[in-house]
Amino acid sequence: MLKETVISHAVRIVCAGGVAAALSVASQSAIAQDAQGADAQIQRVEVTGSSIKRIAAEGALPVTILTAEAIRTSGATSVTDLVKKLSSAQGATTESSSVGGSTFGFSGISVHNVGETRTLVLLNGKRLAQFGGQTLTGFAAGFDLNSIPISAIQRVELLTDGASALYGADAIAGVVNFITKHDTTEGDVSIGYSAPKNGAREKRISATKGFGNLEDDGYNVVLTFGHDERDKLGSVDRSFASTGKVQFSANGKRYQKQQFSASPIPANATDDQGQLISPYQKTNGSCPDKTFRVIEPYNDGSGLVDDYCGYDFVKDLEIYPERKRDNFMASGTFKIAGQEVYADVLLSRTKQTSRIAPVPGAIAVDAGTALHNKYLLPIGITGDSTAFYRLFDMGQRTSKDTADFASVVVGTRGVAAGWDYNASYNFSESRVKGSISGYPGAIAVNNLTSSGLLDPFVGPGKQSTAAQEAIKAATFSGYWDGGTSRLQTINLNASTEVRRLPGGAMMLGVGANINREEFSAKPSPFAQGILADPVKGTLCGGTTGLECDQRFGDAASSQPYSASRTSKGVFGELIAPVLKELELGAALRFDEFSDFGGATTAKASFKWTPAPTLLIRGSVGNGFHAPTVPQVNALQRGYGVTSDKYTCTPALQAIATRLNAQCQPGNRQYDQLAGGNRDLQPEKSKQATIGFRYEPISAITLGADLWHVQIRDSFGQLTEQLVFANPANFPKSWGVNKDVGTGTTYLAFLADNQNLGKSFATGVDIDISGRYRSGIGLFTSQLNATRMLREDVQLERNGKYYSALGNFADLGTVTFRTRGQWTNTLKTGNWANSLTVNFLSGYKDQETTVDVLDASGAVTGQEKIRMEVGFYSTLDWQTVWTPSKSWVFTAGVLNLTDKSPPFVPSTSGANRGQQFGYDDRYYDPRGRTGYLNASYKF
C-alpha cells in the first residue's frame, strides 16, 4: 500500500475545485486530520482521466471533484441545474431551447464552450448512449443529463483536459464522470419544493436505501428513486419577456425593436407588386389586437416598402416548459471467490411539454374567388395573392416530448495475478418520442379556404360554426417524430505495478474495448409526407392517386433510416515516478471504426513537487471526435427555416431563377435543407495544459490551470449569414422546397454537413480557497472562475477566423470571457449559512436593425446597432440546519435580489428558443426562487 503525504492529500481535496464552500469545509477537515496522522494508509482508487488504480493525489491532470455536500450547498435540484453552476462549463443546450425548437427537451454539458458533442459523459466510468433525439447535423449528439438522478450521485469528477488517449472519441474538451452511491447501508428520504413567482414551481421527492455490508455479508445493494415535476412559466409573467415590441435607450438615442411574425390574424396579403400589406389595416386604419404596425423598406434599392401588421407571438410563449422526471437506479455488488461481481441498472423517463403561438402559414387567394372579391379587390389588388395567416382558432402549437433512457452494466473486478482488473459489458439505449398538437396539413387548410369555410381575413373566434368544426377536424394531434440511439460496449481494463523507481512504484495500465453504435430515425407518416389526410391517416401517392400533404406553415418531409457502426480500441498507460518530486506519464491508444478507418491518439503528462507546498503539473496530447451515425448516413430532408429573415437581392434572385424557383416575398425566413455526408472525416485535435497548486499556509490554497485546444476538420454547416451575404460564392448551398399548400416552389438554403476549418481555444481555470476558525464558527471562502483568453474559429475551410469571445456576431453564440462563483460559508454548531455570488462578464450583442424614435415616440428611420450587454451577477442564499444525525433541513433563495436578465435586442443564434428581450441560453428567466428541502437519514 502507498502512503499519501499531507500536502498531496490537501492538494487533492482542497484544490480539486467545486461550486460550493462545502468543499472548502471538507478540505480543511481533511488537512487537520492529515496533520495529526499523516501516516494513515490510503486505499488506491480509480480517478477520471486515468486507467490506473492509484492514490488520487498522484494524478497530473486537472480534475474538479464535487462531493454530495458540495452539490447540496450549490442549491441545484437536478443534474442539469448543477452543471450550469460550473465555471468551466458553458455553451451547452438548455431546457428552454425547446421553446420553438426541436430539442425534445435535451440538456447537455460543454466544457469551455468547446462543444457538448466533444465532452464525454460517463456514469461510473462507463460510456452511455447518445441522445435518441439527436439531429442529422450533430445537434444533441451527446448524453441527456435529465437521465441521471441527482439523488443517486455520490460525487462528480470533471476532467477539464482532453482524454482521447484513454477513452477514445468525444473526449476532446473533457470528461464528466457521474459516480453514484455504492457500498452503503444508509437510507435517505428527501422532499423539496421550489417556488419562483407565477410559474415554474417544482416539487420533488427521492429515496435511497442500501442493504448488506460487502465485507461482512458478501453483498451490497443500493436502490434509488427520484421524481420531480415543474409547471409552466408564461412569457406574460415576466416583464422582460412579455412582448415583442420593446423601446429602449442606447448610444444616446431612443430605439424600438419589434419581434413579430408576418402571419397574423386577420391575415396579411401580397399586393400586385408583391409587397406585403394588411387588408385589415387598409380598411380600418389600425392594426388588430395582438399585432403592431410594421413598415419595412426593401434593401435592394427598388424603393418598395412592406406595410403590414406583425403578430406579437412573444405573448403566446411559455418560456419555461412543463416537465416531469422519474429515475430509478439499482446497484449491486457481490463477493464471489474473492472477486467482486457487480451490476448497475438505470431507468429514467423525462416528459416535457412546451407551447408556442398558434400555427402560421400561407394560403393562396386567386383573383376572382369570393375571398379575393370581398377583401382584396376593394383595396386595389386585382391579381392573384397569397395570404399569410395564423390559425388562431386551432390553439397553441404544443410539443409533448418523452425521453426514455435505460442502462445496464454487468461486470467483475478485483485483483488477479497481481493485476487490478475491471471487465464489463454495458448496454444503454435512449428512446425519444415527440408528439404534437395544434398543427394541420397544408392541403387541408387550402381545402378549407377553397371550400369557402375558412376566412383568413376575420379575427379570433369570428369563423362560422361550420368553419370552427372544420378547423377542429383538420387539427392533427399525435406522434410526430423521434429516434432511438443504442450503444453496446465490452470493456477490459487492468493495471499493475511494474517496478520500483526512486519516487515510488511505476504503474502500467492497459485496456481494450469493442463498441457497437446504432441509430434509427423514426418520423411519423405525417412527418414523412406520405399522407393525404394526416388526421385520418390516409396514405397518398401510388395507386391512391391522392396528393401528399405536409405540415402547414413549415412543411418538411423526413425519411426513416437506420444505420450502425462498430469500433474497436486498445490502449496503454504508464505512470513513472522517476524521482520523489517528479512523476511522468504517457498514454497511447488506437481505435478503428468500421465506417471511416482508424485513429491513433497519445498523451504525455508530468507532475513536479519542488516544495512541500507547491505542485506544478502539465500535459500534452492529441485527440479525435468521430462523426455521429446520423451525420454520416442521414438522407437529405427539409430542416426547418433560417433563423434570420432575408429580402430577395438581385444575387439571390439570380440563384432562384437558375433553380426555377421563387424568392420568398418581402422580408421573410427561408426554408432550410440538410442531410448526411458519407465523406465526413473525424475532427482531430491537439490539447495542452500547465498548472500549479500552492498552499502558502494551511488556511489558504491557490490554483490555476492554463489550457489550450485546437481542432481541425471541424464538423459544421456554412452559416446562413455567410451564404446569404454572398449567394453566388456558394452555388452548392442552395436547393428548392415546394409549399404544398400554395403549390409554389421556393428557393431553400442547403445546410449540409461538412468538414470545415480550424478552431483554437485557450483559457485558464482558477480556484482560490481560504479557511478561518473563529469563536463563532468556521468561515470558508471559495472562488472558482474561468477566464477565456482566445477563441478563433473558421466558418469555412481556409477561410477567415471569427471569434465569439465576448462577441455575438458570426458564430451564433457567445463565449463569455469570465464566469464563475464565489461562495462564503459560516458554519456554527448545527447551522451553516452560505452566500454565493454568480457572475458573467458582458459581451457585444449581434448587429440588429432597430427603429429610431424621436422625442414623441414616432419612428424616424432605421439603424443598425450593436448593444453592449453588461456584466451580470446574482446572489444565492442558503441555510442548512442539522438538528440531529438523522435530519437535515435546507432553505435557500436563488437570485436573492430578483435581478432580471439583461436586455438584448438580437433574435437569432444557435440552439436558441423563440424568447425575446433576453437570451434564454445564458440567463435564467425564473427570477427569485425560494426553495425548501428536508432529508431524513436512517
Q: Do 884 and 736 share a domain, yes or no?
A: no
**For residue 511, is it within any domain?**
yes
Q: Please state which of the ranges 28-42, 110-124, 764-778 shows the lowest mean pLDDT.
A: 28-42
pLDDT of residue 907: 86
**For residue 256, is it within any domain?**
no
Distance CA 224, CA 212 (A): 15
* pLDDT tens profile 666-717: 778 898 998 889 889 999 999 999 999 999 998 999 999 999 999 999 998 8
**For residue 11, is it within any domain?**
yes
| Per-residue pLDDT at 249 exceeds 60 | yes
**For residue 228, is it within any domain?**
yes
Q: Do 738 and 767 share a domain, yes or no?
A: no
Pairing state of beta strands 745-750 and 671-674? parallel
Q: Do 702 and 737 share a domain, yes or no?
A: no
* Last-in-domain residue among 701, 731, 751: 751
Which secondary structure element, helix H or strand E, spans residue 657, and what is its range? helix 650-658
User: Per residue in 677-688, is it b (16+ CB within 10 Å) or e — as a string?
Assistant: beebebbbbbbb
pLDDT confidence bin for 187, thresholds 50/70/90:
very high
| Per-residue pLDDT at 7 exceeds 80 | no
* Last-in-domain residue among 695, 727, 751: 751
* pLDDT tens profile 793-823: 998 888 899 999 999 988 889 999 999 999 9
Distance CA 270, CA 923 (A): 39
Give the pLDDT mean for 479-495. Answer: 97
User: Per residue in 427-464, is it b (16+ CB within 10 Å) or e — as a string?
Assistant: ebbbbbbbbbbbbbbbbbbbbbbeeebbbbbbbeeebe
Q: Do 76 and 99 share a domain, yes or no?
A: yes
* pLDDT tens profile 116-174: 999 999 999 999 999 999 988 888 999 999 999 998 999 999 999 988 888 988 899 99
| Per-residue pLDDT at 465 exceeds 90 | yes
pLDDT of residue 172: 93
Neighbours of 697 (CB within 10 A): 9
Give the pLDDT mean for 867-883. Answer: 96
Would you mind telling me the total number of residues written for the chain in this entry?
938
pLDDT confidence bin for 446, thresholds 50/70/90:
confident
pLDDT of residue 555: 64
Q: Do 651 and 772 share a domain, yes or no?
A: no
Please report, for the domain that includes residue 169, its CATH number.
Answer: 2.40.170.20
Do 390 and 265 meet the contact criterion of CB atoms below 8 Å apart?
yes
**For residue 306, is it within any domain?**
no
Distance CA 790, CA 48 (A): 27
Q: Do 608 and 741 share a domain, yes or no?
A: no
The dihedral region occupied by 666, where left means phi > 0, alpha psi between -120 and 50, and beta the remainder, is: left
* pLDDT tens profile 259-305: 999 999 999 999 998 899 999 999 999 999 999 999 877 766 667 78
Residue % of the chain over a pLDDT of 70? 93
User: What is residue 646's DSSP assignment?
Assistant: B
pLDDT of residue 58: 41
Backbone angles phi, psi at 12, to 5 degrees: -65, -45
Q: Do 623 and 668 share a domain, yes or no?
A: no
Distance CA 586, CA 573 (A): 6
The distance from CA 159 to its chain's CA centroid, rounded to whole angstroms, is: 19
Q: Do 587 and 687 share a domain, yes or no?
A: yes
| Per-residue pLDDT at 23 exceeds 90 | no
pLDDT of residue 2: 31
Comparing 553 with 891, the larger pLDDT belongs to 891
Q: Do 55 and 199 share a domain, yes or no?
A: yes
* pLDDT tens profile 379-428: 999 999 999 999 999 999 999 999 999 999 999 999 999 999 999 999 99
pLDDT of residue 19: 33
Distance CA 628, CA 137 (A): 9
The distance from CA 593 to its chain's CA centroid, rounded to whole angstroms, is: 27
pLDDT of residue 40: 39
Q: Do 747 and 870 share a domain, yes or no?
A: no
* pLDDT tens profile 840-850: 999 999 999 89
Question: CA 123, 125, 126: angle at the middle one, nearest 5?
Answer: 70
Do 21 and 824 meet the contact criterion of CB atoms below 8 Å apart?
yes
Q: Do 793 and 702 share a domain, yes or no?
A: yes
Distances (CA, A) of 361 to 442, 465, 476, 492: 8, 22, 15, 56
Q: What is the dihedral of CA 360, 361, 367, 370, to 10 degrees?
A: -50
pLDDT of residue 31: 31
Comparing 61 with 214, the larger pLDDT belongs to 214
pLDDT confidence bin for 556, thresholds 50/70/90:
low
Q: State how many domains the chain has.
A: 2
Q: What does the DSSP assignment read for 579-595?
A: SSSEEEEEEEEEEEETT
| Average pLDDT of every residue of the chain | 89
Burial level of 336, CB count in 10 A (0-12/13-18/19+)? exposed
Distance CA 882, CA 832 (A): 9
* Coil vs helix vs strand at 750: strand
pLDDT of residue 17: 34
| Per-residue pLDDT at 24 exceeds 60 | no
Q: What does the DSSP assignment read for 199-228?
A: S--EEEEEEEEEE--HHHHSEEEEEEEEEE
**For residue 926, is it within any domain?**
yes
Query: Which one-letter amino acid corresponds to residue 410?
Result: V
| Per-residue pLDDT at 830 exceeds 50 | yes
pLDDT of residue 54: 56
**For residue 442, is it within any domain?**
no
Q: Do 710 and 736 share a domain, yes or no?
A: no
Distance CA 44, CA 413 (A): 14
Whole-model pTM? 0.89
**For residue 99, is it within any domain?**
yes
* Coil vs helix vs strand at 56: helix
Backbone angles phi, psi at 800, to 5 degrees: -75, 160
Comparing 72 with 781, the larger pLDDT belongs to 781
Distances (CA, A) of 622 to 125, 456, 587, 709: 21, 59, 11, 9
* pLDDT tens profile 68-94: 888 888 888 889 989 888 999 999 998
* Residues facing 399 on adjacent strands: 354, 436
Domain hosting residue 732, numbered range: 637-674+718-751
Residue 244 C-alpha cell reads as 415583442
Question: Residue 55: which residues within 8 A CB-CB, separation 6 or more?
Answer: 2, 4, 8, 42, 44, 45
pLDDT of residue 259: 93
* pLDDT tens profile 419-444: 999 999 999 999 999 999 999 998 88
Q: Please state which of the ranges 570-579, 616-625, 674-683, 760-769 shows the lowest mean pLDDT.
A: 674-683
